[in-house]
Structures are given as C-alpha cells and as structure tokens.
A and B are shown apart, each in its own frame.
Chain A
C-alpha cells in the first residue's frame, strides 16, 4: 500500500488529535431531560433485570466509541489517498487516439448515430475501465493532431473532455498522429496506444507503420554517391511504434456513399458573364447508384442532371477537350447571376433534400464554389492617339474606356477609374491606380530607366507571370526600347540579352507594368499576342487569373490575398457562424479551414468570401475496417478495461465512513449502542 496524499506521520497526528477530541467529547456528561414518574420502583425493577447484562451494556457503550473512532480512522485514511502498491507500479500509459476526421460524421453506427458518437461512447467505456494508476492522454486526430489532455488519471476530467469532442470536415492524418503518439509514449512504462476510429485510412499510410522488429533502425533503402548508406525518403517517413502495444476499436459498418470529390468553377476570361464548372462525383458503393446532381446559384436551382454510376465509378464534369467527348460530361457556358454555386447530390427525383438523404455520409453530398464578382473595369487611356491600343481595348466588352490627353490628365480623373494606361507619357504626381506605362519617359516614370537599346530582341520571357500567359513575343521587331533597372520588387517580364524591356511591379496594393518601347515603332500591335497582352495586364490589375481558385479544400492552410495591402488582422466568419481573427502579412491572410462551407473574411470595408469543400476522395471512401492490419499484424481490441473497482480507494473509505455513520445513527436512535 502506498499513500499518495498525506504522509503516515501527518495521518497519525490527525488521527491522534481527532481521536482525543472524540474521546473527550464522549466522556463529557450529557445533560439529561428530567421526568417525574409516580413510582420509580417499577423502573428499578426493570433496570435491575438489565443490571445482569451490565457488562454487555458497558461493552455496547464502548462499541459506540469504537464506531466513532473507526469513522475517524476511515476519514483519516481517506486523506492519505492510499493505493495498492502493485497499481502504482504497474499503471499503464495510454494514449486514446480518437479519429475526428470527416468520415466520422457518417451516420452508419448502430442506432443511427454518427461514427464519432459511437467512438466517443467506446472511449468512455475505456476511460471508465481504467484501473489502478493507469494514466491516459486523449488525442484528437483529423488533419491536425490535437492532444486534449496530458496523461490524466482523473476519469471525470477525461469524460468531460470526451463530451466536447466534435468531428471536423477534414481528412485524417494517421501517420502524423501515430508519430505523435509514438513520441509521446516512447520511454514510458507500459505504453499502450488505442486507436478508436473507422479505419478508413489510405493504404499507403498504413504501410508506413512499423510495429515489430529489433531495436535497430530499418535497413537503408539506397546508397549515396559516396557509397555510404542513406535512408530513402520512404524510410524517413516510417512511423516507429516498436515496443508500444497498439489496439484498435472499430466503429462504423457501411460503405454506402456517393460523394462530390472535386468542385470548382471559373468565369471565362473573355466572357465573364459565363462560367464553367469542374466537378467529380464518385460512387463508392459496390453496386450501381443513381442520383440527381443539382446545381444551384445563390440558392436557385439552375440545372439538374441524373447520374447513373456503376460500382466504384467516377463521373467527371469538365470542359477540357482532352478528356474525350465520350468520357466527359460537361457543364460549360453556364450563365447565372449569382456568385455562390452549390452542387448537391440528392436521391433521384428529390428536391431540397437534406444532406445525408442519399447515403450515410452527407458531408460530400454538397460542394460550394464562388465565382469572381462580375463588374465592368473602367480604364483611363492617356494618349495623344493610338488606334492599335484603342482597337485592342475595344475587344473587351467588360471594359469601360475613358480617353484623355496627357495635358487633361488629373489625379481626380484617375481616382474615378480602376486602371490607367499611359501611352508615351507619365504624370509627375503620384498615380493612385494600377497603371500600364507604354514607352515611359527616361525620368519620372514608375520604373528606373538605365538607357535605351536599339532594335532589341526578346530573348527571355517570364511565362509564369499572369501578364504573359498565352503570349509569345518571339521575333517581335522593336525599333528601340528603354532598358529598365532590375530593382528589388521588379519582375522582369521580357528582356533582351539581360536588359529588361518589359517589367512589372507590385507595391502594396498598386500594380504597375511598363513596356519600354513605343507600340507604333514595333510590330507587336500586329501580332495576335498584342491584345492578349493588354487584356492580361488589365486582368492582372483586376485580380483575375486563370489560376483563380474559387473553392478551397478543408484541412489545408489557405493563403488568401486580400488585395488591400492593409496589415490589419482579418475577421474570419466560419460556416457554423463562429468567428476567428487571422493575422495578415503582406496583404495575405492565412486561414486554416476545418469546416466545409462558405467563409467570410472581413477587413475594414473589404469583404471576401471563400468556399471550402472536403474534396478528398480518400476521406469520402468511408468504408470502415473491422480489423486493422499494421506491419502484418492485426490489431487486437483493448483488454484490461473492465468496469470494475474504482481506482481511488479513498472513495470507498468515504463510502464506508458514510455507512458507518448511518449504522451509528441507527443504533443510537434505537438505543442499541447506548
């Protein structure tokens, strides 16, 4: 027996003092109630009979004192928090790894509850069944690994933590979780890892776990150039759980799911009134499935298509001609006034059905995407006259062109437009808007000019920049061009033998692009690339790009360009209505999205909306595993968690004290012990 509370000396002191106090109180004479009786001789006769048992009576009175002393002894012993020595020595260190990934939201557990609810219930049983000095750490596993507690012995605290566990809309990162658990358990006595989940984890993750083998690290998978052994990346990623007992508690039983695993939409660059949708639906059932795929725009149903999928078949909606006409379905050239697109899977013929009506996993029956806001771009053209330029600008129907002479240019005029094109001129005052400068003056322009180059040849071209997409400047003839200084922050779009002739820069929220040559002294305007180049520039100014992501994947950290240049933190409103604040650096906010749905980012007057979807084929494959095999070992269910004796003996001591009090009270009132 080991005392975890007061020491033996302290307990002896407490017992001695309290026992003495009780004995003194016991000895003190009680003031009795006086009663007059007519004939005390009768009482004498009764008491004389009792006199014969006076020894027993005395013993009974002594028994009363002994009961009280025993009561004190029990209380004092409870203060010592005694534990069985074997329990103290043999306590296990347990990590309860609870899967809270999206698949745990599937409602196929017994009783129609979610897998998570079933898992929490199983976890509760494990916590309640802890014995002796077992200590348990509760860890939540989704895309992030979150330890919810340290190694606790407090059953109540652990149960409280379990009450607050919620599933997220993200995938499970099993490897990271197992690594964390391995690190946390290594070096501890009797380590035990219990995984409670549906087992719906990718095979490649399961194959990375090492449970058995010697203490030596795994053998090298390759050799370096020097001939020395080096572990392959595969081996570095292995999770070493050797020496740790791993147990598995499965939940879930259905693989019934049809899910949207990808959903995105974009406006056409040339026709921003229309958009196209990219969408993938997978039938994870073994047999065929039929469903309605509905497309909503701002809550209005705009199209429904009946899907008939064979078992394990994928349907892909794409406008990419490479897919082949036979294989692909298409949602192209769609037109809708709304910005929020929502794709829903519903039972055939159903309208407005709730998520989960089609299958056990409702999360991937809906997907969201946001189209860029559609608006006309006002462009101020400051020129003495340039028909090539005006012609190119006329191609874009979403442009509203304002033309002015350089002498009529004012800053007030500039503030009324979204972008400005300076053709051979540049004002001395600061330009308040994004600007394209053609043939800038040697001094006073937005970029530093180092000199002029005669008949430059475009030798290098930055193809990844949005301004240069779909543009080839090969063999463009240019009479002469300014050469720009490659200053910090300046992106060189095109150069002639290391002399930048086309540059771009972003300072804060303002973007600038400069072509170092006069259009009229070049054959660029005659090239197909010219209008594209101009419109790319204007699109870059407007924030449009072909790489525009309109929907994000949950579980990732999103790098969001707020486009304001402000460093103020942004308030993120989550799909469930909660809000978080996220810091902003260089006009970009980092948000970790755990829930699918629409996010709203507010920074001052600026508001941005984001759509997030599960978009994870592995997570949508909700087929549970009744048994989990790691490193050729089938994981067994946990043992030694029967609900039996409470671990803390002091509770029983208190219980005994209470029972003793009741006994003493009863015997006193029945005058047995007096």
Chain B
C-alpha cells in the first residue's frame, strides 16, 4: 500500500516537473502579479509600499532632522537654495497573495478534472509570487475552509507548494460565502485574493466576492470551465444527479432543451462576468481545453493579471 502511494507520489512529482519544465519556470520568473492596491508588507521585497525607506524609486523630500542619513541629502538643492532637504524613497516590501482554491466536488468533474487544471494554475501563480519574493499562501475551500499553506516566500518553497497541492483532498459542497467569511476573519493581512473556482455555488458567488472586497482584499477571479459543461453531449431520457447535493431530476434531453441549457450556461458565465466588471474585479475564464501554459503566459498577461 505504502509502496503504491510512494510510486503514485513519484509519478505525480514527475508530472509536476513535466508541467513546470525549466523553460516554463524561466518564463514565469519574468512575470509578477499585478496589484493595483498598495498593501503594507512586513519584510523588504520588490513591492512598493506606503513606507518611505531605502528603495530606489524617489518619493518626496522632507526637511533634514539630525540623525538622518547624510547619504539621502540632496546637495544640489542645498547649493541652490541653501536648504537641507532629505530625499525620500518608496520602500519596496513583500506582498501577500492568497490563492483560494475551490476543492469542492464539482471541481472534480470534467476531463481532465477541473481541480487538476486549477491546481496547475495555482502552482504557476504560486511560483510567480514566490519568484517575486511575495508571501504566497494557498487556501482550499468547499463548504468551509480546508487545508492551508502558510505564507511562503522565495522560489525554493515551490516544492512545498507542490507537496501541498498533492495533498489536497477534494470533496464537499460549494459554500463560497461562508468559506471566504472564515478566510477574511482568519487573515488580517490584506493582499491579493485569487479566487480559483468554477463558481457553481447554489447560494451564489456575489456574497463571497463582496466579502473579499469589503475586507479590503484585492480579489481576482479565475473561473475554471470544462468545455463539456458548456456544451454537454447528452441525449435521451436521463436522470441527472447533482454531484454535490445529490439532487436527482429526470429529464428528456431534446436538441431544443440542450440548446436552452447551453444558452443558460452562457448566461450564467455572462452574469458572473458582468458582476465582476461592475465590482471592478478582474475575471478570467480558464477553459480546461486551453493549454495550461497558454493560459498563464498569454491570457493572464493580456488581461493585465501578470506582467
């Protein structure tokens, strides 16, 4: 049993390493996650902060007071105006990035499973964050918060991320609002909150996103969609079973009904997009049919999520 688990884990490692090959990781190193807001960090990193410190980007002047570092005196002004002014620089600090991964039952549907695809995206974003010395944390949720990867920093922690993702146990109904309420209460440090989910929540996704917004997180939404969900190939007399709630419904799928479902699914996605646009939340649709690297390197960059 242990041997089989070990071999499975080895295979997963190999798969992970295949997904994140050297060239791809190199490309990721040049990217970083764009944050519109400026968050206060603890350690020095590559993020602008409100703090004025020893960065290299000029911020302002202030009068010299004894004890200040002479190196920051602007001697040109002193020679012209005979005033001692101290140059202030924006101090670069680290950023908290929370990757909120939906691990509910619905994420296990699809070929390949949406969760697998979402984990790949999560891992890629993690690597981008780690490479930029941001504090990256992964939180999985379904009907509540589940596993959590404590904030990590530096590229060397990427393997820890892989191990964490490998250990994610999917399952449960989707209750995004409740899960994110718990999240905001547990995480006082604000930062980016990347919500990776299929947004199939019977109670709605609006409260969940608003929860992040109201608690001054900067939410990003990545909607993972399986093409088979958008255009299912169903026909005939069926008994539909909801994979999360177990609800059953007997239907006869006619071409007209199928067309209506496709329209309804599209409308659902449009509603999500419209909501996010209204609330100024960036939303990306990640179709599992699109190659993973294309999503990360092109679509996220084109959408301004990565730079």
Contacts and interface: CB of A to CB of B under 8 A. Distances in A.
Given A33-B237, A34-B238, A49-B260, A39 B106 contact: yes
Contact of B251 (A43, A45, A670): A43
Given A34-B239, A46-B260, A674 B254 contact: yes
Given A46-B261, A671-B256, A672-B254, A40 B249 contact: yes
A513 to B, nearest CB: 104
B236 interface: yes
Contacts of A32: 237-239, 250
Q: Chain B: interface residue count, which band?
A: 35 or more
Given A35-B234, A46-B264, A40 B254 contact: no
B260 A39 contact: no
B58 interface: no
A547 interface: no
Interface stretch (B30-38, B135-143, B184-192, B240-248): B240-248
Contact of B241 (A35, A49, A50, A674): A35
B229 interface: yes
B241 A671 contact: no
Contacts of A674: 237, 252, 254
Given A40-B247, A42-B264, A46-B260, A35 B254 contact: no
Contact of B249 (A47, A670, A671): A47
B286 to A, nearest CB: 15
B265 A42 contact: yes
B249 A43 contact: yes
A417 B109 CA distance: 116
Contact of A37 (B198, B242, B255, B257): B242
Nearest to A61: B252
Interface string A9-43: 00000000000000000000010111111111111
Interface string A42-69: 1111110110000000000000000000
Given A32-B237, A37-B240, A40-B245, A670 B264 contact: no
Interface string A655-674: 00000000000000011101
A38 B249 CA distance: 13
Given A38-B200, A39-B200, A45-B264, A50 B239 contact: no
A35 B257 contact: no
A547 B131 CA distance: 135
Contacts of B243: 36-38
B102 to A, nearest CB: 11
B135 to A, nearest CB: 33
Given A50-B260, A670-B255, A42 B268 contact: yes
B202 interface: yes
Contacts of B273: none
Given A41-B202, A42-B268, A49-B260, A36 B109 contact: yes
Contacts of A33: 236-239
Contacts of A672: 254
B119 interface: no
Contacts of B250: 32
Contacts of A43: 240, 249, 251, 261
B253 interface: yes
A499 B62 CA distance: 187
B1 to A, nearest CB: 28
Nearest to A674: B252
A40 B256 contact: no
B272 to A, nearest CB: 12
Contacts, number: 87
Nearest to B268: A42
B126 to A, nearest CB: 25
A114 to B, nearest CB: 60
A50 B260 CA distance: 9
Interface of B, helix, strand, loop or mixed by DSSP: mixed
Contacts of B242: 36-41
A164 B245 CA distance: 77
A35 B239 contact: yes
B116 to A, nearest CB: 14
B270 to A, nearest CB: 13
A176 to B, nearest CB: 72
A119 to B, nearest CB: 58
A41 B250 CA distance: 13
A45 B261 CA distance: 8
A59 B27 CA distance: 62
A97 to B, nearest CB: 62
User: Which of A33, A44, A671 counts the most chain B CB atoms within 10 A?
Assistant: A671
A592 B229 CA distance: 88
A38 B198 contact: yes
A32 B239 CA distance: 6
A42 B229 CA distance: 10
A456 B257 CA distance: 128
Nearest to A41: B202
B138 to A, nearest CB: 22
Contacts of A45: 264
Contacts of A46: 257, 260-261, 264
A672 B255 CA distance: 9
A47 B244 CA distance: 19
Nearest to A29: B250
Contacts of B232: 37
Contacts of B261: 42-43, 46
- Residue among A38, A40, A43, A47 with max Cβ neighbours from chain B (10 Å): A38
Contacts of B109: 36-38
Nearest to A37: B240
Question: Of residues B110, B232, B252, which shows the largest number of chain A Cβ atoms within 10 Å of its Cβ?
Answer: B252
A30 B236 CA distance: 11
B117 to A, nearest CB: 14
A671 B255 CA distance: 7
B254 to A, nearest CB: 3
Contacts of B226: 38
Contacts of A35: 234, 238-241
A40 B232 CA distance: 13
Contacts of A37: 109, 232, 240-243
B253 A671 contact: yes
B240 A40 contact: yes
A39 B109 CA distance: 10
A671 B254 CA distance: 5
Nearest to B267: A45
Nearest to A34: B239
Contacts of B256: 671
A34 B241 contact: yes
Contacts of B105: 38
A36 B257 contact: no
Nearest to B242: A40
Contacts of A41: 200, 202, 242
Contact of A671 (B198, B257, B268): B257
Interface in A409-468: none
Interface in A360-400: none
Nearest to B250: A32
Given A33-B237, A38-B109, A670-B255, 5 more contacts: A30-B237, A38-B198, A49-B260, A671-B253, A672-B254
6 contacts: A32-B239, A34-B241, A38-B109, A38-B200, A47-B257, A50-B257
Interface of B: 105-106, 109-110, 198, 200, 202, 226, 229, 232, 234, 236-245, 247, 249-257, 260-261, 264-265, 268
Q: Top 9 closest A-B pairs, CB basis?
A: A671-B254, A40-B242, A39-B200, A38-B106, A38-B109, A32-B239, A32-B237, A46-B260, A36-B243
